[in-house]
Amino acid sequence: MLQGFESATTERLLLRPFRDSDAEAVFALHGNPETARFNPSGPLRTLDSAKELLALWLSDWAKHGVGYWAVERREAPGVVVGLCGVRHKLFEGRTVLNLAYRLAPETQGSGYATEVARVAVEKARRHLPDVPLVAIIHPENTASLRVAERLGLKFERITDYEGTPSRLYVAE
């Protein structure tokens, strides 16, 4: 793992790399139609597809030393309530750090997304300053757009992402 990305804490949350044992948590989060409402590919349909997604994320950690974290509440460690972090992604012919944050419906509106995404952006700027950081957001996902703006990311343009016009935000 890249020094500085192993794990993190905020006032209310614990952030740690995903583990093999997190497949059911990934499925609960990504299989939920509400949390996947703005995902161009829709919700995951099977636990096996969650295991494939988890394997991709684990390979990010193995290859790059950085990836998405499982998000847990400090008062309830071991219960994954979301994901956040950055992962290397090939986007429009260049390698970028894709910022993602997705939280369980019962936590939405709590400010968790801003809290954890701020940590991810700060760590990316500190440890990987030469890799552009982006957030690709569905234009109707107003909560996610507000998080990107709170973090100081700047709207650059509309881009086609997996067949869906999306707003591209960049860190300066």
Cα separation of 67 and 94, whole Å? 18
What is the spatial distance between Cα 16 and Cα 24, in angstroms, rounded to a whole number?
A: 16
Whole-angstrom distance, CA of residue 83 vs CA of residue 36 = 13
CATH number at 23 reads: 3.40.630.30
Question: What's the first-to-final CA gap in the chain, in angstroms?
Answer: 25
Domain assignment present for 2: no
Residue 172's pLDDT band (boundaries 50, 70, 90)? confident
Nearest C-alpha neighbor of 4 from the set 95, 101, 125: 125
Number of domains making up the chain: 1
User: pLDDT tens for residues 63-86?
Assistant: 999 999 999 999 999 999 999 999
What range defines the domain where residue 159 resides? 8-170
Residue 65 falls in which region: left (phi positive, over 0), alpha (psi -120 to 50) or beta: left
Hunting for tokens 């949350």 — which residue is that?
A: 13
